[in-house]
A and B are shown apart, each in its own frame.
Chain A
Amino acid sequence: MKKILVLTLALIMALSCFTALAEGIKVGIINLDPSESGYRQANVKNLTDTFTAENGYDATFVTAPTADKQLEAANGFITDGVQYILVSAAETTGWDEVLEAANEAGIKVFLFDRMIDCDPSLYTAAVVSDMRQEGETAVAWLESLGLEEYNILHIQGQLGSAAQVGRSDPLTEKCEAEENWTIVREGTGGDSWDPNEARKIAEAAINAGESFNIVYAENDGMADGVVQALDAAGITHGVNGDVIIMGFDCNKWALEKLLAGEWNYDGQCSPFQAEVIDGMIKTLEAGGEIEGLNELNQIISVEKGFDATTITQEDIDNYGL
């Protein structure tokens, strides 16, 4: 009898040890759909590679393309009692209630990649790209070309997303301020940043006889869609062409087009935020304080813009997604 008792006890202890090992820091991660773009794919992979059981996490991943599904997932995480929630929001607004509920439940929230329009006290830290900075860099590059006329075909991303707003605003402001900057036609690739939609918009503009010398597409895929329409219509583009092609995200294939001189500019948007957040969570768990945040609780990733005339193979290897 005693033997059995000892054995059972030993077994229970061993089991509890085992479960204790399996139990990591409970994290709920809300992202967008990886099939959206090369950027998102790299971003999702970066997170899944970082928040692993070996690294001490018990992470649940949800990828949802729309705001309502994301909010649903966040509510689920709060009920589940996770310790941390990481969010890349489909839309910048509508998060206050959920974030307040998370705060009340003692859950710490990290934003990554995209900002949310809310009081900075509602999240612990935001590791983001400054999308507006990306837009400003692109517009500054465009201005440095010193063209006489800026007739722009503007293809926007998912309307209302931080990436779209940040990349669009500097351009629209510039066009309002300057006489010789005009947006000839504006369209959107929709929620999935659809290259096909971009192609249709460009086709329509070409067939309607609108002449433009700049394509400002808010991601690489949509820039590619426009290029297809230009090729079909016999309009030259790139370094020696009639139309300047601008994209964002720095996919490897896009940078290769830059190197080949078919495109002119690609703005970087770093998808690698997981390591930074991982570091911050480890600091908090060890009882430390997070440092280096600005007044909006942000940590901004440093980003570049690449010019077709100066890009090298080394850049592609280093920065291509």
Chain B
Amino acid sequence: MTNQKKWVASLSQLLIPLVALGLLLLFNLFRDPGFFSIQVAVNNSGNRVLTGNLISIIDSASELAIIAMGMTLVTAACGGQDISVGAVGAISGAVLVKVLQAFGGITLGTILVALVVACLATICFKLFNGTLVAVFKIQPMIATLILYSCGRSIAYWINGDATPQLSSPVVSAIGMTIPGIPIPTPIFLVLLVGLLLALVFRFTNISLYTQSVGINQGAARLNGINPVVIKLLSFVLLGVCVSVASLIGVCRLGQLNHKTLLVDIEMDAILAVAIGGNNLGGGKFKLSGSILGAYIIQMLTTTLYAMKVSPVNVKAYKAIVIIVIVVAGSPVVKEKLTQLWKRLRGGTAGARKEVG
């Protein structure tokens, strides 16, 4: 493929999410231009912070965006989804808090150590999922159902305390804003994780291997790629993503609640992957699509709240819009649209089969 063709192909996958995002932005522009206003304000701790709907959308979607990236990899390699990310996130948070309590004090150093420990613990749990999926060939949804249902209890065992509090300037610097920088820190963490993954893909063949395992395991194996290793690797990377997201979640509130930390995020993450135009059956993937998907979901929520839809009804309205986006991105509709496009452009061209 030439560069131009490559570019067009990648754009066509992102077409639906980009159009959806554009429509949402347009809708808000007509509804209330003030939706986009961003202001600077000073909060209780004397920090200057940026406020406004756009900031709160990008900020609130951080955990989702990070987990969606990991979910994309697992989806691509295994052709299925990990539904235990929220529950394992709670475990990660519990380990994080446990380590911090063991240290006694909270400094940037202890938080980093705690994050590394939490990360290792999360990777262990994810490897458990990965082994069931890659070695025992259990359907990913069934394999991850185990931790989905018992993960939060495990989190509670690790840390008997119901809602341990973490109050420290470092915690609020991670969960909210660093003094002197008005942009919420979670946004930087999303960039950091995205950058790290991009670097990994740039300097290794993991991306290519993941795709080939997802498309055809047998063929990949014949070409010298070990599918088991690639699948496990995708779970390890997801584990890292989950830990970072859980750190954000804990620091945002400055407390750990096993029941509500990252609750229901697995469904939104899978949705983000789907909205991003990725095939949920595995194979080719695009991280940017999933990230876009995450922001679309959050934008939808914020828009509905801005329209004063009550929290109880938000989910129903959200579902309607999401059905439209997912159906618009489905292969059947896509094919019909392409045919229509060709007929409009070249009359007879639409009747001919495309030769790729």
Contacts and interface: CB of A to CB of B under 8 A. Distances in A.
B205 interface: no
B90 to A, nearest CB: 10
Contact of B311 (A188, A233, A237): A188
A41 interface: yes
B45 interface: yes
B255 interface: yes
A235 B305 contact: no
B306 A208 contact: yes
Given A233-B41, A237-B44, A253-B165, A207 B53 contact: yes
Contact of B252 (A228, A236, A253, A262): A228
Nearest to B308: A208
A192 B42 CA distance: 31
Nearest to B258: A35
Contacts, number: 118
Given A201-B311, A235-B41, A228 B162 contact: no
B226 interface: no
Contact of B260 (A40, A194, A201, A209): A194
A36 interface: yes
Interface residues of B, number: 45
A218 B131 CA distance: 45
A228 B52 contact: no
Contacts of A41: 161-163
Contact of A200 (B52, B255, B311): B311
A201 B312 CA distance: 11
Q: Pick from B51, B172, B175, B257 the residue with the most CB of A within 10 Å.
A: B257
Contacts of B302: 204, 207
B3 interface: no
Interface string B26-63: 00000000100001111111011101110010011000
A204 B176 contact: no
Nearest to B34: A209
A195 B49 CA distance: 21
**Interface residues of A, dominant DSSP:** helix
A35 B43 contact: no
Nearest to A187: B311
Interface in B233-269: 252-255, 257-260, 263
A234 B49 contact: yes
Nearest to B42: A234
B156 interface: yes
B311 A235 contact: no
Contacts of B263: 194, 196
**Interface residues of B, dominant DSSP:** mixed
B55 to A, nearest CB: 9
Given A195-B255, A228-B176, A234-B41, A207 B306 contact: yes
A35 B259 contact: yes
Nearest to A256: B167
A36 B259 contact: yes
Nearest to A257: B167
Interface in A187-206: 187-188, 192, 194-197, 199-201, 203-204, 206
Nearest to A65: B259
A277 to B, nearest CB: 22
A231 interface: yes
Nearest to B52: A207
B53 A230 contact: no
A230 B44 contact: yes
B162 A224 contact: no
Contacts of A166: none
B79 interface: no
Nearest to B301: A200
A253 B167 contact: yes
Nearest to A186: B310
Interface in B303-321: 305-306, 308, 310-312
A170 B88 CA distance: 41
A204 B253 contact: no
A196 B308 CA distance: 18
Contact of A40 (B43, B162, B254): B162
A155 to B, nearest CB: 11
Contact of A234 (B48, B163, B172, B259): B48
Given A224-B255, A234-B40, A203 B60 contact: yes
Contacts of A196: 252-253, 257, 260, 263
Contact of A232 (B42, B43, B254, B306): B43
B275 to A, nearest CB: 20
A247 to B, nearest CB: 13
A34 interface: yes
Across the A-B interface, the 6 shortest Cβ-Cβ residue pairs? A234-B41, A204-B305, A41-B162, A234-B43, A233-B51, A194-B260
8 contacts: A196-B260, A199-B252, A207-B56, A230-B43, A232-B56, A233-B51, A234-B48, A235-B41
Given A197-B311, A206-B51, 15 more contacts: A35-B162, A35-B258, A195-B255, A200-B60, A204-B311, A208-B306, A221-B257, A225-B253, A228-B175, A231-B45, A232-B43, A234-B39, A235-B43, A236-B42, A236-B44
